[in-house]
Each structure stands twice: as C-alpha cells, then as structure tokens.
Amino acid sequence: MKINGNAIKPGMVLQHNGGLWVVTRASHVKPGKGGAFANVEAKNLETGNKLNERFRSEDKVERVTLEQKDFSYLFDNGDSLVFMDDATYEQIELQKDWVGDERIPYLQEGMKVVIEMHEERPIGLELPDQVVLEVAETEPTVKGQTASSSYKPAIASNGVRIMIPPYMSAGEKIVVDTTSGEYVRRAD
C-alpha cells in the first residue's frame, strides 16, 4: 500500500531501498518556504542498520503490513530453535542468533509466542510479557527479615541472574518480566 511521505508515523513498517524498515521517529516540518517534509528515523528489520531520511509530502512510500501468527516453542535443536504454527501445525526453525541471546533463556517448552511474518518470512518474535520461573539458588533467608527496598541476588531455573526480595528462598516460584529480566511478584 503506497502512502504519502507526510503520513509516515512511528511504528509503521516501510519497504524502502530494497529492505524493510520500522519507523522509530518521524517529525513533520512545514518550512515557511518550500514544501512540507518528514524527517524519518528508521531501523532495518533484517540488519539492524539505522536510516535518517527526509520524505517530501508528495513522495510515495510503500507501507508493509506484517502478519502476526501464533506459534508454540517446541525444542532447542543445536544452533536453532523449533517452533510450531498453532493453526497449521507446520514447524519452522529459527537461528538462535536471530532470536537473541537475551530472549532464549525465557523460552519454555509449549510457550505461546507471536512471530511477525512478511511474505512467509519471519521478521520479529514477541515473547509473553511475563514468565513464571523457579528460584534455583539464593542466599538463605534471614529470620525476621521483611519486605524491604534491598533485594538479594538469585539464580532462576533458566540460569538467569535476578534480584529477588530478601524473604524468598530457593524452590519458590516467581514471575519475571521478559523484556527487563526483573522480578515482578511471587507466582500464585
């Protein structure tokens, strides 16, 4: 779908210079002399490169809509991860470096994820906002210690280091934010 340069907004995905770009910032300028234009900052979805481009309001840009599909994480297959399409039961393999080292520890067998696709090619992966993990090891609980602003280090069942309240001990289940990697609350 072609759109005018002045209709570009942050979050849109554009096809430009042979690549897919997600708009991170767009400021619209109307100078006293000459035509209006948009200063656009974008990031390439495949390479991660950044782009600063100026689009005049009469320029036409190709806007791309990504298809979001529900997948389930199945298993680790060496240097790739296997996911199954929940609708078709078709399996796809994604390279670990594409998924990202900071996200892999949060993947759990059977976990529902959303994979953004463009022309049947995976472009992005979204994890659930929060996951439940078990505290694998931490310092012993000190009797009489209550919830305070000081947290103690712990290692979760997925191997990630995390700061937890001082009254918690190993074996307890906790909810962790997948984007920040921080403790949210005790799991029910």
The structural domains of the chain, ordered by start, are 2-64 (2.30.30.30), 67-126 (2.40.50.140), 130-186 (2.40.50.140)
What 3 state SS string does the chain have? CEEEHHHCCCCCEEEECCEEEEEEEEEEECCCCCCCEEEEEEEECCCCCEEEEEEECCCEEEEECCEEEEEEEEEEECCEEEEEECCCCCEEEEEHHHHCCCCHHHCCCCCEEEEEEECCEEEEEECCCEEEEEEEEECCCCCCCCCCCCCEEEEECCCCEEEECCCCCCCCEEEEECCCCCEEEECC
Tell me what the mean pLDDT of segment 82-101 comes to: 89
- pLDDT of 174 strictly over 70: yes
- pLDDT of 43 reads 86
Q: Of 16-20, 46-50, 61-65, 129-133, which has the strongest mean pLDDT?
A: 129-133
Q: What is the pLDDT of residues 111-161, one digit of tens each?
A: 999 988 888 888 888 889 899 999 998 887 666 655 556 888 999 988 889
- pLDDT of 145 reads 58
- pLDDT of 143 reads 64
